[in-house]
Amino acid sequence: MRVTGNSLGRKLGLAGLACAVVLLASAPARAEVSSETAFIFNTFSFLVSGFLVMWMAAGFAMLESGLVRTKNTATICLKNIALYSVAGIMYYVIGYHLMYTDVGSYIGTFGIFYNAGDAETALIAAGGDATPEQLAAVVDNGYSVMSDWFFQMVFVATAASIVSGTLAERIKFWPFMIFVVVLTGFLYPIQGSWTWGGGWLTEMGFSDFAGSTIVHSVGGWAALVGAVILGPRKGKFGADGSVHPMPGANLPLATLGTFVLWLGWFGFNGGSQLALGSAADAANMAIVYVNTNLAACGGVVAAIILTQLIYKKIDLTMSLNGAIAGLVAITAGPDLQHHGLAIVIGGIGGALVVFAVPLIDKLKIDDVVGAVSAHLVAGIWGTLAVGIFGGGDLVTQIVGIVAIGAFMIITSAIVWYVLKLTVGLRVDEEAEEMGLDKAELGMEAYPEFGHGSQSL
């Protein structure tokens, strides 16, 4: 049997756990994991994996800070810390319920807030006086309620982080934040409920272990639709079809951001095992770590070789996006057990970026950091790869990709358009010229560094 995503992975974990308990009862001489021990492992795994994924917010912030121009750097820093904050609050206030509570086929409930529940509260309050029944009421859940919430919350923040980079250097701060509110409170959770909440896509057998489609393509679609509606930066595309390069201002920061994302991805994919309370869970998590790492390696190597062959110069930015694309591509199926396949899947992800970036430029869509290529294109590829290499049904995979894509295109187009027609999406030309840092924030990211020849 193969785990097919967050929700089935969860079932496997709980099944393994139940199994352990039964074995222990029937065969006391064997050395099994107790249910409370499994509960602690599962909970701690969510917390450790969760803080790794939280760290990805810093990765996006550094990647985007490094890839925008200095005049927009402070603004992109602000957007990144703001979107992470808003995502956390929105997912707490409304999102988690929509995604995970009493999900029907298409949506969960409209409850607000979320908490550890009576059983855990009672156990904690009882302290040393807790009864076996109080303990069992908690332990039977398999993991602590809020550790799961924490882990899921950092995922929604990741989806939002993807959007900020693409739309950098010309979108207004407040409309962007309103979009984040809608995305993290509603759009992401609703489509997420279809698969990880146990809705219609799970019933159909759609398999997306850690979210190539559910997280990365969702962020990618929102970014792509936003970029089309927002339009390119002034001067990016010439009337003659030429593309004016606007190189990132601080490539070591972009490199750092990529390493941060890579590190965080061990939590993203590894934690999506959703359990650590049995030997099978631990062994599978190790496999996930290895595949995650090797896919990123493949993405980097593919991008380096291809840019050397095509352009005769290696492109650092493309190589960084190659790593990310490799990671995105393996995310739908990091539990596949042939690691050579992980290198191939990641390598194809990295290659796709090398071709997608100029293609998107040719379409006159201005994606400042290449996020659409790395997250959407590679995300689709990774989800298809699960179908191609035997981890799921290819047609079902396509249904999932198309359904979620259609939902995101339509809903995010509506939100972007409403924002455009009401408060407006774009800073005025003068502000764009001057840079968003001075125009919207009244500050400079690097006030003391003189301006070189490429400064714009």
Nearer to its own copies, 142 or 405 (CB): 142
**Which residue from 324, 325, 323, 304 is spatially nearest to 315, judged by alpha carbons?**
304
Q: In sequence order, what are the residues at sequence separation of 6 or more whose Cβ sits closer than 8 angstroms to the Cβ of residue 342?
A: 290, 291, 292, 294, 295, 298, 330, 334, 336
Nearer to its own copies, 238 or 340 (CB): 340
Nearer to its own copies, 43 or 383 (CB): 43
Nearer to its own copies, 106 or 389 (CB): 389
Alpha helices (H) along 167-272: 173-182, 188-195, 200-204, 218-230, 251-270
Q: How far is the CB of 413 from its own copies (least distance, A)?
A: 27
Q: How far is the CB of 293 from its own copies (least distance, A)?
A: 6
Q: How far is the CB of 280 from its own copies (least distance, A)?
A: 5
Q: How far is CA 229 from the centre of its chain?
A: 23
Q: How far is CA 278 from the centre of its chain?
A: 27
Q: How far is the CB of 273 from its own copies (least distance, A)?
A: 10
Q: How far is the CB of 224 from its own copies (least distance, A)?
A: 26
Nearer to its own copies, 20 or 214 (CB): 20
- Whose tokens are 């190589």? That residue is 319
Spatial distance between the Cα atoms of 262 and 265, rounded to a whole number of angstroms: 5
User: How would you label 51-79 residue by residue, b for 16+ Cβ within 10 Å and e otherwise?
Assistant: ebbbbbbbbbbbbbbbbbbbbbbbbbbbb
Q: How far is the CB of 261 from its own copies (least distance, A)?
A: 10
Nearer to its own copies, 281 or 366 (CB): 281
Nearer to its own copies, 284 or 383 (CB): 284
DSSP-assigned letter for residue 171: B
Alpha helices (H) along 271-393: 279-311, 316-330, 339-362, 371, 378-388
Q: Phi/psi of residue 180, each to 5°?
A: -60, -40
Cβ proximity of 220 and 162 under 8 Å: yes
Maximum distance among all alpha carbons in the chain?
Answer: 78
Q: How far is the CB of 53 from its own copies (least distance, A)?
A: 11
Nearer to its own copies, 132 or 239 (CB): 132
Q: How far is the CB of 268 from its own copies (least distance, A)?
A: 12
Nearer to its own copies, 13 or 405 (CB): 13
DSSP-assigned letter for residue 110: -
Q: In sequence order, what are the residues at sequence separation of 6 or more whose Cβ sits closer than 8 angstroms to the Cβ of residue 215?
A: 155, 158, 159, 188, 331
Q: How far is the CB of 207 from its own copies (least distance, A)?
A: 15
Nearer to its own copies, 91 or 196 (CB): 91
Cβ proximity of 189 and 108 under 8 Å: yes
Residue 345: helix, strand or coil by DSSP? helix
Residue 165: helix, strand or coil by DSSP? helix
Cβ proximity of 188 and 162 under 8 Å: no
Please state, in angstroms and as integers, the Cα–Cα distance from residue 451 to each residue in 28, 109, 251, 446, 456, following that order. Answer: 73, 53, 16, 10, 9
Q: How far is the CB of 184 from its own copies (least distance, A)?
A: 11
Q: How far is the CB of 145 from its own copies (least distance, A)?
A: 7
Nearer to its own copies, 33 or 403 (CB): 33
* DSSP string computed for 250-305: -HHHHHHHHHHHHHHHHHHHHGGG---SSHHHHHHHHHHHHHHHHHHHHHHHHHHH
